[in-house]
Amino acid sequence: MPHWRPLLSAALLAAFYALPWLRWNGRQALLFDLPGRRFDLFGLTLWPQDLGVLLGLLAVMATSLVLLTSLAGRVWCGHGCPQTLWSRLFRWIEQATARHLRQPVLARAAKHLLWAVVALWTGVTFVGLFSPMQTLVGTLWPPAWSGWETFWVAFYALATWGNAGFLRQQVCIDLCPFARICPSLCDADTPQVQYDARRGEPRGPRAHGLGAVMQRGRGLLDAVSASDYAFRAAHPALAGPMPHFPADRLGDCVDCGACVAACPMALDVRSGPHVDCIACGACVDACNTQMRAWQFPAGLLRHASTAHMQQRRTRWLRPRTLTALITLLVLLGVGLHRL
């Protein structure tokens, strides 16, 4: 796995936990003081009459997310979304406790204890954006929180524990509104995780030493045959069993299942692009590891647009991106004019 993926996740989590502790001119740098009707944003103080500025900032962030998704795919879902970050952290805790504690009972107990600690501190950190963090932590023991502070800390702790520990992909598939609108923001020129069926099909196990398709002269399949083999492999009950192929006619996919096992959404991208794929790259990393082990070229799974996979030129400027870009520039222009 590339080192930047876990480093990015750790940096974003660290930034969230550190955010309420940052100071600016003697005050908490980011504080939404609802009782005082005052929002502090790194030196910028907003009052109720400045609600338009806050709404403008939200509109700029939303438009930027639309533009980013149209140009680069679901990179926010795969690398920046809180659900992805905390699910990855909880999964790492689960794997670490299982690896270091051989007794299943102890491993489960340690896992849930660490999950509870992370979830509780996540709740405290979130509430620290609305109540002064130093006061909130200073009254942690002996307990002196207000009823609302206690409620929201418990609520977000429970939500973190449940969503990141148990609901993981269900949150992305069934609960996230952004996941529902993502297909409308993407098109054939938007990068997503793709399987090179022309190179990989027909898939199947084989002995080491045969070499990749380009090394042994088999070459790439035609697009129709590759698509047919991929469909038949993904839908055996509908298409019937795959015919038997000699080892020298197999593609580069050794059908190891590493990509499916690594996917946090439990998807098999070899059956075609999925609307539920969050483009986290876990399957790409797992496949490249297997390709290196077999001494095959990497890139059987990769981030690419459908147009690129069909050997067409990828367009960067198209109606979706132009609309989002113009909207963003207008919002920024209005905001700079008001400031």
What's the pLDDT at 87? 97
Q: Looking at the domain assignment, is residue 322 inside a domain?
A: no
Q: Nearest Cα to 198, choosing from 281, 292, 311, 305?
A: 311
What's the pLDDT at 96? 95
Q: Do 300 and 203 share a structural domain? A: yes
- pLDDT tens-digit profile of 52-91? 888 999 999 999 999 999 999 999 999 999 999 999 999 9
For residue 36 the two structure tokens come to 């005082």
Q: Do 181 and 118 share a structural domain? A: yes
What's the pLDDT at 272? 84
Q: Looking at the domain assignment, is residue 9 inside a domain?
A: no
Q: Do 162 and 204 share a structural domain? A: no
154, HSE (Cβ side, Cα atoms, 13 Å): 7
Q: Looking at the domain assignment, is residue 37 inside a domain?
A: no
Number of domains in the chain: 2
User: Which residue stretches of the chain have pLDDT < 70?
Assistant: 1-2, 339
Kindly report the pTM of this predicted structure: 0.91
Q: Looking at the domain assignment, is residue 39 inside a domain?
A: no
Region of residue 202 (left: phi > 0; alpha: psi -120 to 50; beta: else) = beta
Q: Nearest Cα to 226, choosing from 246, 253, 192?
A: 253
CA 330 to CA 246: how far, in whole Å? 60
